[in-house]
Chains A and B, each alone.
Chain A
Amino acid sequence: MVDQTTKCADVPCVYAWLYCIGDLYCTKKMFSTSSQSKHWLFSGETELAKCRTEANATYISKHRGTMTDNEVTSHFLTPVEERILSRQYEVVLRKFCAEFQPPMPKCVIGTSLVFFKRFYVNNSNMNYHPKDIMLTCVYLACKVEEFYVPIGQFVKNLRGDREKFADAILSFELTLMGKLNYHLTIHNPFRPLEGFLIDIKTRCKEIENPERMRKATEEFLERSLQSDACLIFSPSQIALAAVRFGASKEGISLDRYIKEVLLKVASDKEAENMLYQLRRVKFIVKGIENVPREQAQAIQKKLENCRNQANNPDSDVYKKRMLEKLDEEEDIRVKKRSKVSEES
């Protein structure tokens, strides 16, 4: 697009460009045309589990060497163990976010969790340790959601060697973005929730004081963050399911709102599918179980033996690799410089 505009410097073309920008802006804001709906919605938990198992198998086949199958199961993490571990780290992530100073808006937590979940759909916990990825996700989400916290201030929220943490976060940032295919705009269910509340207050006046649903609704959303709902459903579906849940808790019926307002012009098929999706959201969110902590700790110990040392900031392999990379960059720079000086 840039090429075209520079080639023909007509006035109309400048307008064309502005129009395009405006349209891009509009469409970018919309979920329906986002990368989230195109690339990061899975049909269900079955498909997600399949992807995760594949990532696990790829890692094992790369690193098993000459191990027998029995040795493999005792040495490497199984897909189930991986799932427990990443869920444990999701809990840690949320706790970290809740205690973060300065206090962060909800959408940052939502976005960082989505980053984290997306990352481990196609990557194994053994390849990248969730500890590092978790922090990087939060740091990146802060930037994406325009709640920028400089790295120095960011690591003040951590205990331990802060400089080391900062180095790890910055070195994993690019990897993370690459693994996310640079799909960084996340649509969270928080804004749709507000939209539904406004809409209900305006178009469904028979409900008295809809604000009383808010508490249960927000609890539902909070709970949905623990599940894979954000990888399966659109944010508006999650939000509507939450509102419906909140309403039923308060003894309010949203039937009329859903049927006569939302589904007024929808086809039968659409209406049917949407209601089905709502029920699925509720089913998945309600089915969430707490993470068994002791088990998670044991898995973490096991991970120390089978993790990819090349991606461990504490290992010698990693340090050596980083140094080589630095040298390489330096080499390239030197070559460029000598080339420039030759030419001039």
Chain B
Amino acid sequence: MDEQGCPRCKTTKYRNPSLKLMVNACGHSLCESCVELLFVKGSGACPECGTPLRKSNFRLQIFEDAVVEKEIDIRKRVLRDFNKKEEDFPGLKEYNDYLETIETIVFNLSNQIDVDATKKMIDQYKKDNKDQIRKSQSKMSRDEEFLDTLIEEEQHNAAVRKMMDQEEVKREKAAKKKIQQSLIDDLMFSDMSAKDIISSHRQNIQQQQEEEQEARAATTAFSTGIKIGQHSDNIHLMKQEQGQVFHYCPLIMEWCGPEPPTMDEIYHDGYLRNIRAATDQERAGGFREATACHRALQDALCGLFSFPNINPSPVKSGGAAASSTASSSSSSHLPMVLS
């Protein structure tokens, strides 16, 4: 694609990113600075085609193709005169013919075909329909009317909503004040203890809030228009085979030893003081010192009472064994099973 640029000074959009191209009735573009330079006096000729132009008629080029700009310009001008509406015609066919002539005029003017004849035709039409044109100009079209009513309605709605919001806020404030006032009154004059009063008030407030929420939850349809709570009516899912409902039975731990401290005990009994604090990296991975501590303790205590097929009662008198726990020399009279 060609670089967009001014045909006179050859500046391009690439070399000057802030380049602004202007266009006038003839459809030839010029950059802003060239327009300033050439039309210092307010009017002059187009450097490309020599058409006399006015500086005030230059406007920013929106479309890349200057011909489109020209056509838009011409169409605007033509439509100012050819402003009949559909209801001015006896039938659709006549209206379409009329639109067709407008298109022909626009096409001729923008492509320089039979310019003179076309211009003459326009003049003729103007003369013939002078009254009609003026009348139509003053009369607003039906579409415009419709748009105006829409906007009005919207503005009205917004105002009403705003008022309602304000009222709601006011009401809430008043209610809060009332509750506070009653709490203070109760505290001043009631015989109940302050704690009871506060808790009962709190309960009341909570109840009210819940009620309000219930009242609010009255929406019955999704934004798509599907009714809430009627999902199975229009959408038939595949029938699913129903398995047995799962019942979770909490796990029974076979410690096979003294029960290790629970997580809560680890936190409260100061176990954590005796373990290395978790580093930032470990914490980021979801590991706390309590987890490690819990595992170490569980591993330590679990399996202490594991006696796989222990051989015949080891010590002759149980009481004596329990009392001689510390004596490290007791291994001397161990049974022969061991060797």
Chain A interface (Cβ < 8 Å from any Cβ of B) = 4, 7-10, 12-13, 15-16, 19, 23, 26-27, 29-33, 37, 41-46, 187, 191-199, 201-203, 233-237, 239-240, 244-245, 248, 253-255, 258-259, 261-266, 268-277, 279-280, 282-284, 286
Q: Are B325 and A9 in contact (CB under 8 A)?
A: no
Size bracket of the B interface: 35 or more
Name the B residues within 8 Å of A283 (CB-CB).
Answer: 331, 334, 338
Q: Are A46 and B246 in contact (CB under 8 A)?
A: no
Among listed B43-51, B77-85, B150-158, B303-311, interface-contacting one? B303-311
Within 8 A of A (CB), among B231-284: 240-246, 248, 251, 253-259, 269-271, 273-275
Name the A residues within 8 Å of B246 (CB-CB).
Answer: 12-13, 15-16, 19
Q: Are A195 and B296 in contact (CB under 8 A)?
A: yes
Shortest Cβ distance from residue B177 to the other chain A in the assembled complex, whole angstroms: 47
Q: Are A273 and B305 in contact (CB under 8 A)?
A: yes
Shortest Cβ distance from residue B2 to the other chain A in the assembled complex, whole angstroms: 57
Among listed B61-69, B113-121, B314-322, interface-contacting one? B314-322
Q: Are A29 and B295 in contact (CB under 8 A)?
A: yes
Q: Are A9 and B308 in contact (CB under 8 A)?
A: no
Shortest Cβ distance from residue A331 to the other chain B in the assembled complex, whole angstroms: 43
Name the B residues within 8 Å of A237 (CB-CB).
Answer: 303-304, 306
Name the A residues within 8 Å of B337 (CB-CB).
Answer: 44, 46
Q: DSSP majority for the A interface?
A: helix
Q: Are A16 and B308 in contact (CB under 8 A)?
A: no
Any A CB within 8 A of the CB of B183: no
Q: Are A4 and B308 in contact (CB under 8 A)?
A: no
**A-B residue pair count with CB separations less than 8 angstroms:** 182
Bound-state CA distance A19–B194 (Å) is 46
Q: Are A4 and B303 in contact (CB under 8 A)?
A: no
Bound-state CA distance A275–B310 (Å) is 13
Bound-state CA distance A280–B331 (Å) is 8
Give the residue of B297, B303, B328 whose beta carbon is less than 8 angstroms from that of A37.
B303
Please give me the residue from chain A that is nearest to B305 by CB atom. A270
Bound-state CA distance A273–B315 (Å) is 9
Q: Are A192 and B300 in contact (CB under 8 A)?
A: yes
Q: Are B308 and A236 in contact (CB under 8 A)?
A: no
Q: Are A7 and B338 in contact (CB under 8 A)?
A: no
Shortest Cβ distance from residue A13 to the other chain B in the assembled complex, whole angstroms: 6
Name the B residues within 8 Å of A203 (CB-CB).
Answer: 269
Q: Are A236 and B338 in contact (CB under 8 A)?
A: no
Q: Are B311 and A43 in contact (CB under 8 A)?
A: yes
Name the A residues within 8 Å of B241 (CB-CB).
Answer: 7-8
Q: Are A275 and B325 in contact (CB under 8 A)?
A: yes
- Given A44-B311, A236-B300, CB of A259 within 8 Å of CB of B325: yes
Q: Are A196 and B300 in contact (CB under 8 A)?
A: yes
Q: Are A275 and B322 in contact (CB under 8 A)?
A: yes
Bound-state CA distance A89–B157 (Å) is 92
Bound-state CA distance A263–B331 (Å) is 21
Q: Are B243 and A13 in contact (CB under 8 A)?
A: yes
Bound-state CA distance A270–B326 (Å) is 17
Q: Are B253 and A30 in contact (CB under 8 A)?
A: yes
Give the residue of A16, A262, A269 whose beta carbon is less than 8 angstroms from that of B304.
A262
Name the A residues within 8 Å of B255 (CB-CB).
Answer: 30, 32
Bound-state CA distance A12–B243 (Å) is 9
